[in-house]
């Protein structure tokens, strides 16, 4: 694999929802958008979900849990060869990458908890203090309040945040989310606010896949470890009934999937004043003042009334923002990462590639680039209703990580 691979123009089909398209060109340090897009890494394990960085710029990558096995690595550092990774936290750290034995049986709880392992990770970010926050949705089997007799799920397996200190390589804190988790919860991505609260606040998008009418936002105080589930079933977080659609790609026809996915993309501006969010299955981006979101005296109805419509968007997964308040969104069905500029608030394509199949998370790095992985979720057997036979997986290596230059710098790790 080359250390820097430029990506050329693609057909207009892959830009169906874009209103404008940045001109293609070779990669160079003075270009932004499509002109700077490159394949940064190619891996063999599985599709990439979240990406963040340590304070030294080292990339931390997450392998999407759709590919999970009892022995899978879920969180890792990208190696210098850009073709392999190393489990992170380190294998001898005491934080295990799975809560199961290789045969699939559950490891026993320790002191009635599973703080020593991660089960199902979609999102993680490193904060300005060097804490890597890992959001474990604990969803390798269905979530139940109590033991699930069908799956053998341990009653002590709870969704949680794991805070890992990347400077000392020690566990900082575990925050249990069981009290704000429902049976259909799928804790997805989150934002870190170090401005509000004694140690800051974590804001989680619970997308409630398949039950997106019960999607919600979870607000967690880091210092106290207490969480509130807010806006459940609110119009700003639930899914649109339209199916997820994706363009023809990799020799497969255009297709659609009627799986409702609620609030998914979520990000916080540089000044930590506004939280931006929207359902994956939704055509709107909203924002709300953090001072309102952390105000526990507001009812859900009062909080909902304070939410502002911000812009129109296509169906998207990840979301981030730069220092000039330009939003970047991963357009899951169209091999594109788009932008909503502050000045126009009009969505347009920013970078695209025919192999960027289901871009998931998008994150800014201190090297001046934004990074995203092609998760290939729509190629997995789960989505292949039209395959022969039904459910035949079409995902395949290489699993690519892309990077591109944004319009302005962002917050590293966000």
318-335: pLDDT as tens digits: 999 999 999 999 999 999
Query: Residue 9 pLDDT > 50, yes or no?
Result: no
Q: What is the mean pLDDT of residues 176-187?
A: 96
Query: Residue 352 pLDDT > 50, yes or no?
Result: yes
Give the confidence band of 385 by pLDDT, cuts at 50, 70, 90.
Answer: low
Q: What is the reported pLDDT for 390?
A: 67
- 275-285 pLDDT, tens per residue? 999 999 999 99
Q: Lowest-pLDDT range, 4-18, 31-45, 222-236?
A: 4-18
Q: What is the reported pLDDT for 11?
A: 35
Give the confidence band of 173 by pLDDT, cuts at 50, 70, 90.
Answer: very high
Q: What is the reported pLDDT for 144?
A: 72
Q: What is the mean pLDDT of residues 368-383?
A: 90
Give the confidence band of 102 by pLDDT, cuts at 50, 70, 90.
Answer: very high
Give the confidence band of 340 by pLDDT, cuts at 50, 70, 90.
Answer: very high
Q: Of the candidates 363, 369, 365, 351, which has an alpha carbon nearest to the alpha carbon of residue 406?
A: 369
4 within 8 A of 15, measured Cβ to Cβ: no
Give the confidence band of 148 by pLDDT, cuts at 50, 70, 90.
Answer: low
337 within 8 A of 313, measured Cβ to Cβ: no
Q: What is the reported pLDDT for 2?
A: 41
What percentage of the chain has pLDDT greater than the value 70?
Answer: 90
Q: What is the reported pLDDT for 22?
A: 34
Give the confidence band of 40 by pLDDT, cuts at 50, 70, 90.
Answer: very high
Q: What is the reported pLDDT for 394?
A: 82
What percentage of the chain has pLDDT greater than the value 90?
Answer: 80
Q: What is the reported pLDDT for 17?
A: 31
Q: What is the reported pLDDT for 393?
A: 81
Give the confidence band of 387 by pLDDT, cuts at 50, 70, 90.
Answer: low
Q: Of the candidates 208, 237, 406, which has an alpha carbon nearest to the alpha carbon of residue 322?
A: 406
How many helices and strands (H and E) does the chain possess?
Answer: 2, 27
Q: What is the mean pLDDT of residues 311-322?
A: 97
Q: What's the CATH code, domain 5-384+392-404?
A: 2.120.10.30
Q: What span, in angstroms and rounded, lies between the C-alpha atoms of 25 and 168?
A: 43
What's the whole-number average pLDDT of the chain?
90
Could you state, in order of their start, the residue ranges of all structural domains in the chain? 5-384+392-404
Question: How many residues are listed for the chain in this entry?
Answer: 414
Q: What is the mean pLDDT of residues 389-402?
A: 86
Q: What is the mean pLDDT of residues 399-411?
A: 97
Query: Residue 15 pLDDT > 80, yes or no?
Result: no
Greater pLDDT, 151 or 5: 151
Task: Name the pTM for this structure.
Answer: 0.92
Query: Residue 50 pLDDT > 70, yes or no?
Result: yes
Give the confidence band of 6 by pLDDT, cuts at 50, 70, 90.
Answer: low
54 within 8 A of 43, measured Cβ to Cβ: no
């Amino acid at each position: 694999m080359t250390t820097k691979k430029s990506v050329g123009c693609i057909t207009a089909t892959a830009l169906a929802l874009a209103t404008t398209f940045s001109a293609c060109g070779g990669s160079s340090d003075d270009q932004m958008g499509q002109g700077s897009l490159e394949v940064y890494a190619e891996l063999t394990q599985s599709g990439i979900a979240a990406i963040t960085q340590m304070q030294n710029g080292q990339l931390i990558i997450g392998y999407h849990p759709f590919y999970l096995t009892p022995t899978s690595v879920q969180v890792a550092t990208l190696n210098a060869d850009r073709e392999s990774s190393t489990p992170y936290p380190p294998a001898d750290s005491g934080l295990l990458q799975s809560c199961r034995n290789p045969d699939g049986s559950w490891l026993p709880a320790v002191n009635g908890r599973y703080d020593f392992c991660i089960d199902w990770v979609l999102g993680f970010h490193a904060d300005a203090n060097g804490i890597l926050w890992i959001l474990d949705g604990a969803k390798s089997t269905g979530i139940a309040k109590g033991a699930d007799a069908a799956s053998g799920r341990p009653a002590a397996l709870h969704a949680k945040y794991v805070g890992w200190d990347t400077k000392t390589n020690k566990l900082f804190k575990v925050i249990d989310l069981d009290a704000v988790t429902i049976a259909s919860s799928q804790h997805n991505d989150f934002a870190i606010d170090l401005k509000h609260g004694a140690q800051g606040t974590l804001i989680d998008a619970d997308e409630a896949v398949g039950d997106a009418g019960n999607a919600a936002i979870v607000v967690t105080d880091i210092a106290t470890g207490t969480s509130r589930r807010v806006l459940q079933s609110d119009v700003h977080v639930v899914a649109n009934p339209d199916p997820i659609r994706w363009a023809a790609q990799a020799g497969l026809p255009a297709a659609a999937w009627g799986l409702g996915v609620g609030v998914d993309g979520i990000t916080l501006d540089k000044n930590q004043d506004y939280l931006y969010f929207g359902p994956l299955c939704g055509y709107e981006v909203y924002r709300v003042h953090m001072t309102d979101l952390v105000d526990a005296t507001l009812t859900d109805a009062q909080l909902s009334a304070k939410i502002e419509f911000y812009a129109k968007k296509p169906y998207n997964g990840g979301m981030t923002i730069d220092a000039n308040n330009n939003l970047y969104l991963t357009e899951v069905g169209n091999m594109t990462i788009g932008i909503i500029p502050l000045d126009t608030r009009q969505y347009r394509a920013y970078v695209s590639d025919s192999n960027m199949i289901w871009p998931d998370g998008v994150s800014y790095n201190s090297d001046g680039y934004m990074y995203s992985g092609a998760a290939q979720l729509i190629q997995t057997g789960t989505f292949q209703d039209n395959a022969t036979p039904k459910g035949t997986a079409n995902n395949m290596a290489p699993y690519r990580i892309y990077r591109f230059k944004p319009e302005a710098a962002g917050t590293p790790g966000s």
